[in-house]
Structure 1
């Protein structure tokens, strides 16, 4: 199945960029980043940013923007059956040269999982230095670490840079 990523969620003053690999099937159906209700991304963000949790997607986007956090995916396009990153083929990266030029305050790039970091390093040459941090995937497929352990890693990485 041919999959295309979403436009980034961002603000002009964004200083953190969080990157996933490519939206999964449920996210694509809902046209929302991290739309699968078992993905912990939004639970983590609301907890870290000390906001009351909301299922409303517009509220979710606004919370990131208010905190100068941009959200995007490494890949613009890929062929994939299902939602697993291991099934990705024929991938094309997003245009990070333009995005990072247009968002000069971004100093930190956080990767939601190992595959996002690997694709970024494979396809994106950086023209300046950024703090690159790979975090455990918030996906329900990542059962290797507990919710609490993953939350602590995310909280440490995000809170330090707000």
Structure 2
């Protein structure tokens, strides 16, 4: 199946960028980041940002991140993949982070939601990794496929970087 990613959720105030790899089947079908009900991304963000609850409305979820100056995108723009597993991704094309960072110069922290996100970013953005004004953080995936990381473990690790 040919997969095309989403545009970034970002504004001029964002200082942190969270990158997934490529949306899974459920997310692509719903055209929403982290739409699979078992993905822990949205509950984790609500907890770390000290929100009362995860907003039910998708646009409110994006606004929750933007209120805290957090942008959302993916390392991969397009690929071929059967199913949702990152290990099934083939023929990937990276997103243009040189242009994104030129347009949004306040981004100073980039978090990779899982190993494939970090791997793809590093493959296509070697020059950006040399920048000293941006910190890069490889984080454990919030995907249900990463079952060995319980929610409290995710919160402890992600909480080192994501704060209200």
Q: Distance in 2 between matches of 1:76 and 1:117?
A: 14
State the match for 1:142 in structure 2: 146
Q: Distance in 2 between matches of 1:155 and 1:27?
A: 24
Q: Distance in 1 between matches of 2:100 and 2:131?
A: 13
Q: C-alpha displacement at 1:44, in angstroms?
A: 0.7
Q: C-alpha displacement at 1:128, in angstroms?
A: 2.4
Secondary structure of the structure 2 residue equivalent to 1:59: helix
The answer to whether the 8 Å contact 2:44/2:151 transfers is no
Count of matched residue positions in the alignment of Structure 1 and Structure 2: 160
Q: Distance in 2 between matches of 1:3 and 1:40?
A: 22
Q: Please state if 1:70 is matched with 2:74.
A: no
Q: Please state if 1:151 is matched with 2:151.
A: no
Unpaired segments ≥5 residues, structure 1: none
State the match for 1:105 in structure 2: 106
Q: Distance in 2 between matches of 1:106 and 1:8?
A: 13
Structure 1, 104-113 or 126-135: larger mean CA deviation: 126-135
Q: RMSD of the TM alignment (CA)?
A: 1.0
Q: Please state if 1:128 is matched with 2:131.
A: yes
Q: Please state if 1:38 is matched with 2:38.
A: yes
Unpaired segments ≥5 residues, structure 2: none
State the match for 1:14 in structure 2: 14
State the match for 2:47 in structure 1: 47
Q: C-alpha displacement at 1:114, in angstroms?
A: 0.9
Structure 1, 53-62 or 27-36: larger mean CA deviation: 53-62
Q: Distance in 2 between matches of 1:105 and 1:54?
A: 26
